[in-house]
Amino acid sequence: MVHETDSSRDRSRRAVIGAVGATGLGLVGSTSVGASSDGDPTPIDSPTVIEEPGEYELVADLEPEELDQRGCIVVNLQDEHGEFTLYGNGHTIDLGNITSGSFDPGRIDPSCITLNRPPRNSPWGPNRSVDWDTTIENVELRGGYCGIFSRIGGGGRFSEITATENENGLWFASDTGRLRDCTITENYRGVYVQASVQDWGRRSEIDVENCTVEANGTWYPSPGRDKGHGIWVSHQSDAQIGSSRIVGNGNGIQVSAWDANAVIEGNHICYNDQYGIEGQLYLADDDERESPRQPRVQATGNYWGTANGPSSRLSQNYRHGRGVRRELIEPDEPFTDPETGRPADGDGDAISESLESGVTNVYFDPFSETPLEDVGDRR
């Protein structure tokens, strides 16, 4: 849904902005704004820090050339509970003039939208409950370190978001995100979810439905890095992914060995380069203090690009100079489903091996033999 207002004040404001071309170009500083008291969403037409709950709306495209903060829009809410809504109205936040070609692993470039968690010295953080009801809708985000970097801890709803050409499309850190009708394309990582229960007292969780996650992880932000992911479910995180297209990514969906879980059902998982779904393994060869680990990945009812289902692919690490690289090879025999015993001997996207030799850690059976209808973002 696109928020619209028909007030004469609002129409006049938009007309003035259109006439003077206030698109946020070249701004170094930012504006700090609070919620409107007249019932209309507070307009945003330049890089902004938001410190109060309420409704806000973009009324212009933002394309700054310089920023003195960690996001074009920084939501820095200081209370434990409240509601925050940002209506994008179809506008674009483009940080390409700032960050294009400058992704430096030693420096974090600004994000299009940053949702801040409470500071560590907050009297109610970091392990206290944070219950922000966040909604962001109908905006295009490009050229940033993240399209959205969400670390409030209260979770939110994100709909009709287009995130493209960022290092991370959407990153949820000890947070939850409900994604609906989003297009996440041509980022290094499409959707990244990770947590630290020890530091923040909570897991991370994403719920993805009717989204298109395509062509992520096919480029490299700096030399020597591996291909990126369509969706990366990292440490202490959970994911539910349904009715979506995970297509043409470097690695389709990767699920961490460190206390991560995923339910991935009713999707198109096709034409991803390394794996359609990879459940990572931790073998603990060099650290006897830790036991081997792997995730559980429930992935039934998906279409893998061919009628005969997914294929099997084995990952082997080897030394390369001072580092470790991995080689992906076809196993001698296809892996079998850990529950039904069906072999993953199809021609579709690959799935990974479990700690048990010859058995996959992706529960893929049954699968769809034909393309599914009405999956992915259909805007």
Query: Which letter does DSSP use for residue 372 in this model?
Result: P
Task: Write out the two tokens for 235.
Answer: 């440490």
Number of H helices, E strands in the chain: 3, 30
pLDDT at residue 304 above 50? yes
Of these ranges, 18-32, 46-60, 143-157, the one predicted with the greatest mean pLDDT is: 46-60
- Compute the distance between CA of residue 207 and CA of residue 181 in angstroms, rounded to an integer: 12
Of these ranges, 62-76, 91-105, 194-208, 281-295, the one predicted with the greatest mean pLDDT is: 62-76
Closest CA to 22 of 58, 60, 53, 75: 60
CA angle 98, 159, 82 (to 5 degrees): 90
* Average pLDDT, integer, range 58-80: 88
Q: What is the pLDDT of residue 181?
A: 98
Q: What is the pLDDT of residue 334?
A: 97
Q: What is the pLDDT of residue 266?
A: 98
Burial class (CB in 10 A: 0-12, 13-18, 19+), 333: exposed
Closest CA to 140 of 172, 166, 167, 164: 164
pLDDT tens digits, residue range 176-230?
Answer: 899 999 999 999 999 999 987 777 677 899 999 999 999 999 876 655 557 899 9
Q: Which of 3.40.50, 2.160.20, 2.40.128, 1.10.3470 would CATH assign to domain 8-363?
A: 2.160.20
> By mean pLDDT, which of 92-101, 161-170, 230-239, 298-307 is the weakest?
92-101
Q: What is the pLDDT of residue 2?
A: 32
pLDDT tens digits, residue range 73-96?
Answer: 998 877 667 789 999 999 999 999
pTM: predicted TM-score of the whole model, two decimal places: 0.85
What residue segments make up the domains of the chain, in order of their start? 8-363
Q: What is the pLDDT of residue 131?
A: 66
- Compute the distance between CA of residue 205 and CA of residue 216 in angstroms, rounded to an integer: 20
Distance of CA 150 to the CA centre of its chain: 10
- Compute the distance between CA of residue 27 and CA of residue 142 in angstroms, rounded to an integer: 17
Q: What is the pLDDT of residue 20?
A: 28
Q: What is the pLDDT of residue 371?
A: 96
Closest CA to 141 of 120, 118, 164: 164
Q: What is the pLDDT of residue 224?
A: 53
How high does pLDDT run on average in the chain?
83
Cα separation values, 12 from 1, 57, 60, 70, 271, Å = 23, 15, 14, 32, 49
- Compute the distance between CA of residue 330 and CA of residue 348 in angstroms, rounded to an integer: 13
Return the SS3 of 328. strand
Q: Using 50, 70 and 90 to split pLDDT, how confident is the model at 123?
A: very low
> By mean pLDDT, which of 206-210, 255-259, 273-277 is the weakest?
255-259
pLDDT at residue 372 above 70? yes
Please list the alpha-helical segments (H only) found in 139-219: 197-200
Residue with tokens 């690289």: 325
Can you spell out the DSSP letters for 95-155?
A: -HHHHTT---TTSPPPEEEEEPPPPTT-TT-SSS--EEEEEEEEEEEESSSEEEEE-SSS-
Q: What is the pLDDT of residue 158?
A: 97
pLDDT at residue 128 above 90? no
pLDDT at residue 335 above 90? yes
Q: Using 50, 70 and 90 to split pLDDT, how confident is the model at 327?
A: confident
- Compute the distance between CA of residue 171 and CA of residue 113 in angstroms, rounded to an integer: 11
pLDDT tens digits, residue range 4-24?
Answer: 333 333 333 333 233 223 333
Higher pLDDT, 93 or 25: 93
Query: Which letter does DSSP use for residue 226 in this model?
Result: P
Task: Write out the two tokens for 29.
Answer: 């500083």
Q: Which helix (H) or strand (E) holds 325?
A: strand 323-329
Phi, psi of 161, deg, nearest 5: -95, 135
